[in-house]
Amino acid sequence: MSEIRVEREVLEKNDIAAEEVRGRFARVGTYVIDLMASPGSGKTSFILATAGALKDRYKIGVIEGDIASDVDTENIRAHGTDAVQINTGGMCHLDSTMIDRAMDKLPADRYDLVIIENVGNLVCPAKFDLGQHIKVVILSIPEGDDKPLKYPGIFTESSVLILNKIDMLGATNFDEQRLRGHVAKLNPAMEIFPISCVTGDGVEAWASWLAGQIDRSAGAAPGGDS
């Protein structure tokens, strides 16, 4: 018997593929969001609200990840935004090779912004680099302010937290200060945007922050501003 040193990260293939996807996006100056949240937290409504606020300024594409069905994709297309479906067939998360294939199916040659809606899950998607610029996690008010204590990984891996359904604050015992306290201990740099996709509250603040990120990224891209 002999011992062979391997010394390889288990997810290295995903990470290598993610770097290729990142390069592909960088070449055309596309800003990419990996959007993660639990089922029912309002991911698709949030995408529609974001696209509604920014579609006059930017070309937007959506990659929809679901275990099955294309209801979200149909919904997004019905609102006039390009969307392509990935069905994971039971897999709990997207990986970077799926993103590469999905990009080939989006109709336009280039996008300013691509939003990837990950599979509804607060655990697994946090671990997989998709070649995104930022990971965004949505926490909706009815889920409770203790989620960072139960799922710390996703709150440390994401750079933006969307507090969705703030129109429901009065109907729950959700304490926003307590939530912010939990987040500050794990990820003090996290940007937090409280919004409601029903009333539209907070959507403008999020959209203008995102526009700043898209513009900065396009300015930094090799062919940007040309």
Amino acid at 130: L
CB of 192 to other proteins, least distance (A): 15
Residue 109 within binding range of other proteins, rule CB under 8 A: no
Q: Which residues of 76-98 are buried (b: 16+ CB within 10 A; e: fewer)?
A: bbeeebbbbbbbbeeeebbbbeb
Residue 177 within binding range of other proteins, rule CB under 8 A: no
- Report the SS3 class of residue 59: coil
Residue 124 within binding range of other proteins, rule CB under 8 A: yes
Of 128, 174, 193, 206, which lies in the binding site for other proteins, with binding defined by CB under 8 A?
128
CB of 186 to other proteins, least distance (A): 6
- Calpha distance 100→215 (Å, rounded): 23
Given a contact cutoff of 8 angstroms between Cβ atoms, the answer to whether 68 and 160 are in contact is no
Residue 152 within binding range of other proteins, rule CB under 8 A: yes
Residue 27 within binding range of other proteins, rule CB under 8 A: no
Residue 104 within binding range of other proteins, rule CB under 8 A: no
Which helix (H) or strand (E) covers residue 136, if one does?
strand 134-140
Residue 149 within binding range of other proteins, rule CB under 8 A: yes
Residue 142 within binding range of other proteins, rule CB under 8 A: no
Site string for other proteins, 49-68 (x = CB under 8 A): --------------------
Residue 13 within binding range of other proteins, rule CB under 8 A: yes
The residue ranges that bind other proteins (CB under 8 A) are 1-14, 91-93, 95, 123-124, 126-128, 148-149, 152-153, 156, 182, 184-189
